[in-house]
Amino acid sequence: QVQLVESGGGLVQAGESLRLSCAASGRTFSNYAVGWFRQAPGNEREFVAAIRWDGGTTYYIDSVKGRFTISRDNAKNTVYLQMNSLRPEDTAVYYCNRVVWTTRHVLDAWGQGTLVTVSS
């Protein structure tokens, strides 16, 4: 198992930016795809973006394409989510997890997540 710690959330105004970090410990995740997910109040957790193990391929849901960028630094065992042009509908707790690239199936227990609040 890998322990995942998300950080970087906060309260911002619409149009501003945040960079989230996902740090892994316990076992390297450099050989795995990693995904970011989010859960807004009252909603199910949803997939947001993923990056393959080598960082060469990324995938985003339509609502964040062109605004969010996922990246990774395998030497630091860390994955990032740069979020630009934030909107109130991006407000959620954001989580990361190792995933199966083709199915988005998660491989580890969820961490505590990091809260992103976007005010209008």
In this prediction, residue 26 carries a pLDDT of 75
pLDDT digits (tens, 9 = 90+) for 18-77: 999 999 987 778 899 999 999 999 999 999 999 999 889 999 999 999 999 999 999 999
In this prediction, residue 25 carries a pLDDT of 85
In this prediction, residue 1 carries a pLDDT of 75
Q: How far apart (Å, rounded) are the C-alpha atoms in residues 73 and 76?
A: 5
pLDDT (mean) for 5-30: 93
Share of the chain above pLDDT 70, in %: 100
Q: How far apart (Å, rounded) are the C-alpha atoms in residues 97 and 3?
A: 9
Which residue, among 90, 73, 74, 101, has the nearest Cα to 17 in the 3D structure? 90
In this prediction, residue 110 carries a pLDDT of 94
Q: Give φ, ψ of 74 to 5 degrees.
A: -65, -25
Share of the chain above pLDDT 90, in %: 87
Q: Give φ, ψ of 75 to 5 degrees.
A: -65, -30
